[in-house]
C-alpha cells in the first residue's frame, strides 16, 4: 500500500464530498464517483486546487458495467484502488403497508447491491497490493429500525452483515472491512429532502445525548481513521457516529 488510492462513491456532495476532501489531506489520491459527473468534477477540481490528486468518474453503482468502466478509469488515472468508501445511497420514507415491490427493489439495488458490486470490482486490486481498506456507510436506522423506513433500514442492515462477512473472508489478505453508522447528518442531499421542518430537526437533535446535528465532517473523521495504518487491527466493526442516538 505504498501509494494509496481511494474510490469514494456518492462523492459529489455531502458526506461523500467531505470524505474525499479529508482523505486527500492525508495524501490519498481520490477517485470521485457519482451518478452526476458535473458534481463529481467540481469535487475533484476542489481536491486538486488544494494540492491533492483526484479524478472524477460517473456511474450508477447498481449497474456493474458502469462500475467496471469507472474503476478502470480511476486505475488509469491514479493507479490500483486500495481503499473503497461505499457511501452512495438513497433514502425514502414510506409507510410499510404502502411500500411497493418497485420501491423495495430500487432501495436494495442501490444501497445493498451497489455496495456489493463496487466492492467486488475493486477487491482484486487490494489482494494484489497485499492489503486494503473497505469502509461502508450504513445507518443507525439499521440498528434500531425506523418507522416508515423498512426498505431503507433493511438495506442498511444488509450492509452491516455484508461488512462482517467481508472482514472474515478477506482478513487473511490484510484487508479490513468496517462500517460507519451515522444518524441524521445535515448538509447532505438526504437530509435536505427528508428533514425540511425545523420542528422535526429539533426533535431529532434532542433525541440523542449529544444535542447537535451530525455534520459530514464527523463521518469523514471516522473514515479517515478506519483507512489509516492505526486501524489496521480493526475489522468487522460498526462505528456509531450518531451522537449517542443508538447505544
Contacts of 183 (CB under 8 A, 6+ apart): 139, 140, 204, 208, 214, 241, 242, 243, 245, 246
Q: Is 176 exposed, middle or buried (0-12, 13-18, 19+ CB in 10 A)?
A: buried
Which of helix, strand or coil describes residue 154?
Answer: helix
What is the total residue count of the chain?
247
- Residue 17 CA to residue 89 CA, distance in Å, equals 14
Known catalytic membership, residue 152: yes
Q: Is 194 exposed, middle or buried (0-12, 13-18, 19+ CB in 10 A)?
A: middle
Place of cell 439499521: 142
- Residue 214 CA to residue 244 CA, distance in Å, equals 11
Identify the H or E element spanning 67: helix 64-78
Place of cell 438526504: 190
Phi, psi of 63 (to 5 degrees): -115, 110
Place of cell 436506522: 141
**Catalytic positions:** 152
Amino acid at each position: 500500500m505504498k501509494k494509496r488510492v481511494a474510490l469514494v462513491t456518492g462523492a459529489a456532495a455531502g458526506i461523500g464530498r467531505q470524505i474525499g476532501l479529508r482523505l486527500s489531506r492525508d495524501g490519498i489520491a481520490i477517485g470521485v464517483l457519482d451518478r452526476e459527473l458535473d458534481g463529481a468534477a467540481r469535487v475533484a477540481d476542489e481536491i486538486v486546487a488544494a494540492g491533492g490528486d483526484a479524478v472524477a468518474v460517473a456511474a450508477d453503482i447498481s449497474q456493474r458495467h458502469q462500475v467496471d468502466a469507472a474503476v478502470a478509469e480511476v486505475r488509469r488515472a491514479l493507479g490500483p484502488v486500495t481503499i473503497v468508501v461505499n457511501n452512495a445511497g438513497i433514502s425514502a420514507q414510506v409507510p410499510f403497508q404502502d411500500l411497493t415491490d418497485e420501491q423495495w427493489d430500487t432501495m436494495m439495488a442501490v444501497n445493498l447491491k451497489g455496495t456489493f458490486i463496487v466492492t467486488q470490482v475493486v477487491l482484486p486490486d487490494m489482494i494484489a497490493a497485499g492489503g486494503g481498506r473497505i469502509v461502508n456507510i450504513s445507518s443507525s436506522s439499521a440498528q434500531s429500525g425506523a418507522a416508515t423506513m423498512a426498505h431503507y433500514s433493511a438495506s442498511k442492515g444488509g450492509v452491516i452483515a455484508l461488512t462482517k462477512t467481508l472482514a472474515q473472508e478477506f482478513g487473511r489478505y490484510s484487508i479490513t472491512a468496517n462500517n460507519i453508522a451515522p444518524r441524521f447528518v445535515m448538509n447532505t442531499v438526504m437530509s435536505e429532502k427528508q428533514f425540511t421542518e425545523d420542528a422535526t430537526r429539533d426533535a431529532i437533535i434532542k433525541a440523542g445525548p449529544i444535542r447537535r446535528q451530525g455534520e459530514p465532517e464527523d463521518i469523514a473523521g471516522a473514515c479517515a481513521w478506519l483507512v489509516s495504518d492505526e486501524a489496521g487491527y480493526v475489522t468487522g466493526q460498526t462505528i456509531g457516529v450518531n451522537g449517542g442516538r443508538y447505544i
